[in-house]
Structure 1
Amino acid sequence: MMGKLDLYLERKREELGVRLNEVQKQAVGHARGPLLLLASPGSGKTTTIIMRIGYLIEELGVEPERIKAVTFSRASARDMKERFAKWFPQLAPVDFSTIHSLAFEAVRSHLWRSGQAYEIIEGAVDTAEQEGEAGPGKGEQGLPLHKKIILRGLYKEVVGENATDDIMEELTTYISFVKNKLLQPHEWESVKSDVPQAAQLLAAYEQFKRNGTDKLLLDFDDMLTLCNELLEKDEALLRKYQRRYDYILTDESQDTSLVQHAIIEKLARGHRNLCVVADDDQSIYSWRGAEPSYLLQFKDVYPEAVTLFMEQNYRSSKEIVTAANLFIKRNLGRYPKEMFTENAAHEPIVFKRLTDYRKQAKLVVREASKADRLSEVAVLYRNNSSSITLMNEFDRAGIPFYMKDADNRFFSHWIIEDVLNFMRMTYTDKRVDILESIHMKMAGYISKHQIAVLKSIDNGESVFDNLRQFVQLQDYQVKLLKEAQETFQEMGGMPPRQAIRVIRTRLGYEKALDKMCERLGFRKDYLIGILNTLEDIAEGLETMADFAARLKYLEKVLNSAKLRKGQDAVTFSTFHSSKGLEFDQVYMVDLIEGVIPAKEEDKRAADGSMPLMEEAVRLFYVGMTRARKRLTLITYGQRDGEKTEESTFMTAVRDIAEPEWRGAQAAGAGASEAGGFKLQFGTERRGSGGGGSESGARRFRSSSASSVASAAAGSAKRELNPHAVRKREALEEGQAVRHKVFGPGVIEALDGERITIRFGPENAKSLSVAMCLDMGLLELM
């Protein structure tokens, strides 16, 4: 006789066509008490959540308004709400919202009762109730009371410099991290930040919000910290929300911060009906205060909790799932999971190593143009700066693209304005205002006092002539300014790419950037990257006017790319923003050391762990698991004349997917020394999707502790098939075999160290016999 759960699932299978596996069924049927549901990528997490909510309502009689579902983003909340309404149209809506919306509702309730006036100073609050409230007030100088305006003013006051957009981003990230970690003022100094006097700026910011106006000023992070504080102190408020909900579910909990966890714990303290859905392997927001260690300690808080592992991947091909599963095992701080799939093999992972960076965007354009549906193609990268060169190439090729997280800061960056001002000086050297904007960033060492004197001279002549005739100069300046004037004159009519090289070198701009980086803590590699991108944009253009026009045009293209969501266009996204998305084809680009992993991620913590490196591994894993059928990893040997190294992550995946590639590389190197060719550069390698190898573990030691490599190798050994063929004598031509990744096939040839197996009419693969035997990849059929 079928039980209540089975009857429910059978009915929904007939109504919706939804079939659940055994773990999903257990999650749906878990009615009382805490549940930790660890969901691997593509494991049907949202389906399981919605089916569980439906079961609570339809079969257990829980009122929809008694269920609170908390998600990480507004998009997730909206998607879940729409899915629930589609599958259960006859039911009243469940309360889906972000944690910020929940926190703001509680804070506003308390402030209303206490008569405290307040104002939100950051963006639009994620709650419908906020609509219609008064707009932002005005500060003393008539400027809106907005977080960024306040922080810019405080930075100028405290540091004595104008804050760049990069500094503003770093500062707001620092403030958010401190608050989400619930750090006390005496701990603020301990948090590393590239922003000078960050802790002092935060203290000034907090004081202004409480004393700068007659209202309490709140930003998004304040909603969380104040909510947690009020729930701790205001018993009536706490009881109100504890009594409102009988069931609480949190999604994407690996991205939840300490303060967010604290709020949820308080609300679930009475009934303890808390379902936490997460994947510790996809926790990639520690820089925003996310606390993935909470998941590992869940049983400490809820000893009676049930833990379920949703490990079956319904999204990706066997090759991608196998490689990603072995790759993530290199991390130690995780639950032991075995992601698997019953999907068929599709095609090997593709590894591209190009000779030069400039070939990368052109390669992706060529490959993407062959796709039947552009919307099923994604290009993923670590840093937003990578998108500009891609955008330039795709636009020139006429291929539409959607920018998932478009960042306009590139086109408003002061580096670009500097370069354009240098170019303006080639058209006229009579404008003091242009020279004033760049005089500290060029050879000549012109002082502010000298510029002030120059501005008092209004005779319409060359600024360089006026400097020499009317301004007191040091002897060395005379020669430098004469050379600068001649250089600007030579640049007249010069192609823009060549002009940028002259600005960087002969006019001394890069040396000036070096000094600025030392003085202000800017990241030189980031600034140089902007200059490199400008050269890419300038390639093929004839005049500097064309270059300026191209920049304006690309900014418009970027703005329009934001609006192409849902259209037939290639998606550009950072690894971070790609989480939750999936595509048939994924290209992961700029896979070089220093980008992923970044230099600072190769550092150990005091306890010997490598938390930054482990998060970088998770980020790479997120990128890999966005792909359904085709995954291409791309690196290159040099950029702007400087050698680059292949990302150790890409190398690790290649070791997993194609264990025999090192032997082929060594043979190629030998051929090169003997006068042949070298396989390392300009070639394409397709991985076999096989299991991991000890050579792969050894190669990865630069990015994780040796114990991680040992654990990975040991894990690979434990997974060997007990029925696998171990002796060469057991193999013969014409024999039917099953490969661990590629499935059933027939041996066509055994030739020395290679075995050729045909897996289909047009799918024959030549594999290493030794590797197949050592890794237990084959069994007889």
Structure 2
Amino acid sequence: MTQVGAVRPGAEPASRAEAVLAALDDEQREAAQAVVGPVCILAGAGTGKTRTITHRIAYGVHSGVYVPEQVLAVTFTARAAGELRGRLAALDVGGVQARTFHAAAMRQLRYFAPRVLGGPMPSLVENKLRLVATAASRSRLSTDRTSLRDLASEIEWAKTTLATPDDYPARAKAAGREPPFEAAAVAAVYASYESAKQRDGALDFEDLLLVTAYAIEEHPAVAREVRAQYRHFVVDEYQDVNPLQQRLLDAWLGGRAEVCVVGDPNQTIYSFTGADPDYLLGFADRYPDSAVVKLERDYRSTPQVVGLANRLIGQAAKRKGLPGLRLLGQRPDAGEPTFVEHPDEPAEAAAVAARCKALIDSGMPAAEIAILFRINAQSQVYEAALADVGVPYVLKGGERFFERPEVREAVLLLRGAAAGGSDPGALVPTVRDVLASVGWAEHRPPAGGAARDRWQSLAALVDLAVDLVAENPALDLAGFVGHLAERANAQHAPTVQGVTLASMHAAKGLEWDVVFVVGLVDGVVPIAQSLSRPDAVEEERRLLYVAVTRAREQLTLSWSLGRNPGAKRARPRSRFLDGLAPGSSPTAPAPGRRPAKRQKVVLEGEAGELFERLRAWRSQAAQSASVPAYVVFTDATLQAIAETRPTNLMELSGLPGIGARKLELYGEDVLAAVTG
């Protein structure tokens, strides 16, 4: 029996081409038939992107427009490249090259190295840390493994954005980077790293792309051969292309326009690695005669999940370039997404774990459930909660909490300290003192991704100690270490099938029947480091959009008002949920966007005195919640309060910028400030 849409071996070319189109919807068919470039396919979440591009390639081959060996499809992961090859084989198409940027560059450079480099292919730097450590030592920087990873990440970012060591300080500042050391020091390490690499005669993975592009740009014979070999290009996930990858693509094209790019501007979430969505957004400007096809029929999620995703992304700040996407759910109706508020993080985790257990007991496969969070350190409380109720889990894109190097080191030090004895009632300060010996301090997480992850993991141990003392004030350090061992042992149980725990970034490209998106409080989603830059806040919104669109059938979004049991319940729910959660409404300014410039407020007399009093109160509230002042209320809202002097909650609720959630959190305090 021939599968619908499959190509029957031995069929005539015309019938093969028609068979390729048979199982596509109208928009997918339009994209598949646009075999002459330039073509831009805007493919929303769940709209059949991979199906469309493989059928487009197959249609081009079976209709005689493409020679298979002259097509290069470029992806971002080896898994995606393998999937493309498998689907093309099912469509009776062989010979098409489907590779990652790096794999394609390596294949070409290995062939051309004798001509371009004067010898065989140089060795590859598999891991930058050794050379980065040497370079840092020459710059007299005191480093550990965490700061070395952050330095390596900064060097990778600089190279993918085509920044030289001299360029780095200005470029890093303009991009809002948070390097682990002063920018000038990072630039010095970068320069020393490049010198050491050249002395070793080695290339790193960024060099693969750069040298391949250089070979084509500067060697006409190489350019002619490459461009004769590859005449048609397909680039998947084009919103994630960085300047280095775009340079290589331009070299391959050589001014030709036979390129099809596929991407979703709503899923641009990797700018911190150097990705530049402007290549996708500006594609039609670069190629004015391009065909632009929008895929908006979502076959993955229910209309209710799709509707929420549309409302979430619809609140984003408008961006120049290609038109936006509005998903159209194609599946049968189901229940609305659920919004749940919890008093504290352990309560939130316990509720999610209990719900997972109930779903599994009712027949839902554990592998069809996912819990998604913003940062990896959040996994600990969910690992523990799932273990407590006997639900197996798998951690995607990261190590289990108790297997992380910093956690293993901390537990070892805590065990050693416990051997010397400890006083009941002094657990939390003792844990803080021990962790201080490995660089943890009670302040805002440090700059640098790896350093921040390490700090958050250690902070999670402190929070756990606080939680346990709240339950048992007499717990000492030995008891705490024993508790950690029990948790670690429970979580090391082998799991063949389990609930997926993943960061929102790690979840991209995946999907589950049931998704819990957790920890949705301001300062986490959006992450605190983004709050000073509106563009970074908008990327955080798109990250939440990616998380929401992973759910096929059931979606729950939750947050907790306090970190620990008994803590003050003052953490504001994520601004991205304003206008989405039941009973909430959009606030001023637009949700998720910090005003680019604040207007100075000038009030006189009693109104001016009240305005200053409200500002003082707001400062204290913001400090208590560890959020910027404007997250509590904007100056415009304080001005409206000072001018109208509301006397009750009903009057206060009618002012701009005061939704139900803020009324609940701050209403009584505001009225108290008004009455003096």
Tell me the TM-score normalised to structure 2 length.
0.76
Q: Measure how far apart 1:72 and its partner are.
A: 0.9
Q: Distance in 2 between matches of 1:375 and 1:207?
A: 48
Q: Distance in 1 between matches of 2:592 and 2:55?
A: 44
1:543 is aligned to: 479
Contact residue 318 and residue 346 of structure 1 kept, 8 A: yes
Q: 1:30 aligns with which of 34, 38, 42?
A: 34
Q: Measure how far apart 1:248 and its partner are.
A: 0.7
2:4 is aligned to: none
Shift in CA distance, 9/569, structure 1 to aligned 2, threshold 3 Å: farther
Contact residue 120 and residue 218 of structure 1 kept, 8 A: yes
Q: Distance in 2 between matches of 1:518 and 1:349?
A: 32
1:158 is aligned to: 139
Contact residue 303 and residue 332 of structure 2 kept, 8 A: yes
2:521 is aligned to: 592
Q: 2:119 aligns with which of 105, 116, 129?
A: 116
Letter in 1 for 2:130: I
What does 1:48-447 correspond to in 2, within 5 Å? Answer: 48-60=52-64, 62-88=66-92, 91-113=93-115, 114-116=117-119, 119-123=122-126, 146-165=127-146, 167-190=147-170, 191=172, 192-196=177-181, 197-211=185-199, 213=200, 216-269=201-254, 271-329=256-314, 330-333=316-319, 335-371=323-359, 372-407=364-399, 411-414=403-406, 417-418=409-410, 420-428=412-420
Letter in 1 for 2:292: T
1:127 is aligned to: none
Per-residue deviation, residues 641-685 of structure 1 (Å, max 9, x unmatched): 354524434523xx2364xx14xxxxxxxxxxxxxxxxxxxxxxx
Percent identity between matched residues is: 25
Q: Measure how far apart 1:546 and its partner are.
A: 2.6
- The secondary structure found in structure 1 opposite 2:213 is helix
Q: 2:541 aligns with which of 607, 617, 627?
A: 617
Contact residue 17 and residue 62 of structure 2 kept, 8 A: no
Per-residue deviation, residues 492-533 of structure 1 (Å, max 9, x unmatched): xx6xxx664141467794997449989998659626533246
Aligned-residue Cα RMSD (Å) equals: 3.2
Does the alignment pair 1:698 with 2:570?
A: no
2:7 is aligned to: none
What does 1:459-474 correspond to in 2, within 5 Å? Answer: none
Q: Measure how far apart 1:288 and its partner are.
A: 0.8
- The secondary structure found in structure 1 opposite 2:41 is strand
Letter in 1 for 2:338: V
2:577 is aligned to: 651
Contact residue 617 and residue 649 of structure 1 kept, 8 A: no
Q: Distance in 2 between matches of 1:656 and 1:516?
A: 32
Letter in 2 for 1:331: A
2:19 is aligned to: 11
Contact residue 415 and residue 527 of structure 1 kept, 8 A: yes
Compare 257-266 and 38-47 and name the one that shifted more: 257-266
Q: Distance in 2 between matches of 1:537 and 1:99?
A: 47
- The secondary structure found in structure 2 opposite 1:70 is strand
What does 1:740-751 correspond to in 2, within 5 Å? Answer: none
- The secondary structure found in structure 2 opposite 1:703 is coil
Shift in CA distance, 511/44, structure 1 to aligned 2, threshold 3 Å: closer
What does 1:629-708 correspond to in 2, within 5 Å? Answer: 629-640=553-564, 641=567, 643-652=569-578, 655-656=579-580, 658=582, 661-662=583-584, 695-696=585-586, 698=588, 700-701=590-591, 703-705=593-595
Segments of structure 1 that go 5 or more residues without pairing to the other structure are 124-145, 429-488, 605-609, 663-694, 708-781
Per-residue deviation, residues 509-567 of structure 1 (Å, max 9, x unmatched): 4997449989998659626533246538978997355346347536745xx56xx5xxx
Contact residue 217 and residue 223 of structure 2 kept, 8 A: yes
Contact residue 232 and residue 259 of structure 2 kept, 8 A: yes
1:603 is aligned to: 532
Contact residue 282 and residue 622 of structure 1 kept, 8 A: yes
- The secondary structure found in structure 2 opposite 1:355 is strand
Contact residue 435 and residue 458 of structure 2 kept, 8 A: no
2:649 is aligned to: none
- The secondary structure found in structure 1 opposite 2:409 is helix
- The secondary structure found in structure 1 opposite 2:154 is helix
Contact residue 135 and residue 196 of structure 2 kept, 8 A: no
Q: Measure how far apart 1:696 and its partner are.
A: 2.0
Segments of structure 2 that go 5 or more residues without pairing to the other structure are 1-11, 598-676
- The secondary structure found in structure 2 opposite 1:32 is coil
Following TM superposition, where does structure 1 have runs of at least 4 consecutive aligned residues deviating by more than 6 angstroms?
Answer: 515-521, 536-542
Q: Measure how far apart 1:152 and its partner are.
A: 2.5
Contact residue 118 and residue 218 of structure 1 kept, 8 A: no
Contact residue 431 and residue 465 of structure 2 kept, 8 A: no
Q: Distance in 2 between matches of 1:78 and 1:499?
A: 55
Shift in CA distance, 242/318, structure 1 to aligned 2, threshold 3 Å: same
Letter in 2 for 1:546: G
Per-residue deviation, residues 372-417 of structure 1 (Å, max 9, x unmatched): 2111111111111112222222233222222221236864444653
Q: Measure how far apart 1:224 and its partner are.
A: 1.7
Q: 1:553 aligns with which of 485, 489, 493?
A: 489
Q: Distance in 2 between matches of 1:422 and 1:255?
A: 42
Compare 569-578 and 269-278 and name the one that shifted more: 269-278
1:577 is aligned to: 506
Per-residue deviation, residues 728-758 of structure 1 (Å, max 9, x unmatched): xxxxxxxxxxxxxxxxxxxxxxxxxxxxxxx
Contact residue 339 and residue 581 of structure 2 kept, 8 A: no
Compare 111-120 and 50-59 and name the one that shifted more: 111-120
- The secondary structure found in structure 1 opposite 2:588 is helix
Aligned residues: 559
- The secondary structure found in structure 2 opposite 1:637 is strand
Shift in CA distance, 343/516, structure 1 to aligned 2, threshold 3 Å: closer
Q: Distance in 2 between matches of 1:176 and 1:160?
A: 19
Tell me the TM-score normalised to structure 1 length.
0.66
Letter in 2 for 1:359: A
2:9 is aligned to: none
Q: Measure how far apart 1:633 and its partner are.
A: 0.5
Q: Measure how far apart 1:576 and its partner are.
A: 0.8
1:454 is aligned to: none
Q: Distance in 2 between matches of 1:290 and 1:161?
A: 30
Contact residue 173 and residue 287 of structure 1 kept, 8 A: no
Contact residue 411 and residue 555 of structure 1 kept, 8 A: no
Q: Distance in 2 between matches of 1:73 and 1:595?
A: 28
Letter in 1 for 2:236: D
- Structure number with bigger Rg: 1
Per-residue deviation, residues 360-379 of structure 1 (Å, max 9, x unmatched): 22111111112221111111
Shift in CA distance, 370/512, structure 1 to aligned 2, threshold 3 Å: closer
